[in-house]
Amino acid sequence: MTPVRVRFAPSPTGPLHIGGVRTALYNYLLAKKTGGTMILRIEDTDQTRFVPGAEEYIKEALEWIGITLDESPWHGGPHAPYRQSERKPMYMQYAMQLLESGNAYYAFDTSEELDEMRTRLEAAKVPDPKYNSISRMEMKNSITMPEDEVKAWLEAGKPYVIRLKVPRKEEVRINDLIRGWVMVHSSTLDDKVLMKSDGMPTYHLANVVDDYLMKITHVIRGEEWLPSAPTHVLLYKFLGWETSMPQFAHLPLLLKPDGNGKLSKRDGDMGGYPVFPIEWNDKATGAVFMGFRESGYLPEATLNFLSLLGWNPGTQEEIFSMEKLIETFTVERIGKSGSKFDIQKAKWFNQEYLKMMPNETMAAFLAAELKKKGVELESSKLVRICALLKERVMFLKDLPNEATYFYQTPTSYDAELWAAKWNDEAKLVATEWKKALETETNFVAEQIKHHIHDITEKNGIKMGKVMQAMRLAMTGVGAGPDLMQIIEIIGKVETLKRLGNVV
């Protein structure tokens, strides 16, 4: 079997959408699973859409999520260069080959003439006006013009493009690994431009030529490229490369959270969630687009979330590390239908990964964050705080805030809860508890609890009735992990101070 060679081929026209990261991931998984090669190629033939910084963004986003590349513009490789703009001189010979075999032609039409054609066809009620086997006969090209005139125009340096000569009646068949056989009639295709007047190839020609030259075995890409696939299949055929044509797999769309339509970059803005892997600052407009990274998602959680948007392992299992994905992934288990972008699920994954994070790792993060606030706590305490809070935070960045009462005496108390819970019984218990704790030499959760248990029992008060008031007095808030543990960590001196503040 020929070794698998896959490529991720983004265009640097803006920030890489999270769907693009999923495409890169599925390519990567297939490569790693089979011991194959993962290539990144920058498709920058459309210079008018080039956005500065986009390439660096792609690199950083892939690194963040843990996708490594074997060949790329940044790592080099046997098929360098990996930027299409740098490969410009390589494409013309293939366009010439197509011209010579009669599968492409020169077209000299100006943009006004192309507009006129469109208007003419629209007026004639042609449903989908295009430059094709019928309309080309009315246009200025090497099919309609006498040979010597074409030669003269070329010699005179008249601007021209080279177009694919799509056959009039032909069934184009694509065996897609996800969709099965897709049949398209050539009459629905247009004579795509292959070479532009500036001497740059278009996406279609460059993509096919490079996939061939780079010995790509599988093209895994978004469903939005399925309509281009028949053109690509024709190109492989006309260039005589049919036997080395890669296998295609067109990935299902990512849908809006409610399932209605394709996920767009505006959905994120409106819904307040990221649709980009990392933050993107649009230099042209000053707009900032949220990233998963900056929103607090761990790369492992983002990866796990993305892996299941379109692929499923065939079991109920949901937690997948990169290693496990490589082991389990198969293209056959990629679904045909679109996947809802359920951000709640992404949050759930983040929480799961936080739970799995070692307390020490979390504590190191917390220590660094607290240091910024001028707070220092013993590391053993930090580890315990993290053990208590890890189930309660959705994002790592919420941790310092969630931990406030461990390092700050409450200056205010939840007013509504205070009004509902702070009563004479609570005050009595707090007073007695403080007294008992003053003389306690073994200041541990068990002992602390033992005292309040005794006090409530002695006074005929149900412990459950005053516990929230005690929590309020100690932390200022109505919810949190086990109070006795909190008190033990806070320590005797500070506990007495806090109880003293309310009685």
Binding site for ligand GLU (CB under 6 A): 9-11, 43, 203, 207, 221, 225
Crossing angle between the packed helical segments 424-438 and 463-475, to the nearest 10 degrees: 70
* Active-site residue flag, 265: yes
Nearer Cβ to ligand GLU (26/406): 26
Give the torsion sign (CA, 450, 455, 461, 464): negative
Nearer Cβ to ligand GLU (253/388): 253
How many residues are present in the chain?
Answer: 503
Q: What gap in Å lies between CA 120 and CA 496, rounded to an integer?
A: 88
Nearer Cβ to ligand GLU (264/408): 264
CA atoms lying within 13 Å on the CB side of residue 317: 13
Kindly name the residue from 256, 262, 265, 449 that is annotated as catalytic: 265
Query: Where do the H-state alpha helices sit in 156-228?
Result: 203-213
Interior CA angle at 148 toward 142 and 153, to 5°? 65
CB of 380 to ligand GLU, least distance (A): 51
Nearer Cβ to ligand GLU (18/452): 18
CB of 8 to ligand GLU, least distance (A): 7
CB of 289 to ligand GLU, least distance (A): 18
Provide the β-strand partners of residue 441.
none
Q: Exposure of 153 by Cβ count < 10 A (0-12 exposed, 13-18 middle, 19+ buried)?
A: middle
Q: What gap in Å lies between CA 436 and CA 337, rounded to an integer?
A: 65
Inter-CA distances, 501 with 35, 111, 431, 496, Å? 65, 80, 10, 9
CB atoms within 10 A of CB 164: 23
Nearer Cβ to ligand GLU (207/307): 207
327: tokens are 């082991």
CB of 106 to ligand GLU, least distance (A): 26
Question: What one-character-per-residue DSSP string does 90-158 give?
Answer: GTHHHHHHHHHTTSEEEE---HHHHHHHHHHHHHTT-SS--SSTTGGGGSSBTTTS-HHHHHHHHHTT-
CB of 131 to ligand GLU, least distance (A): 22
Nearer Cβ to ligand GLU (222/481): 222
CB of 308 to ligand GLU, least distance (A): 22
Catalytic residues: 265
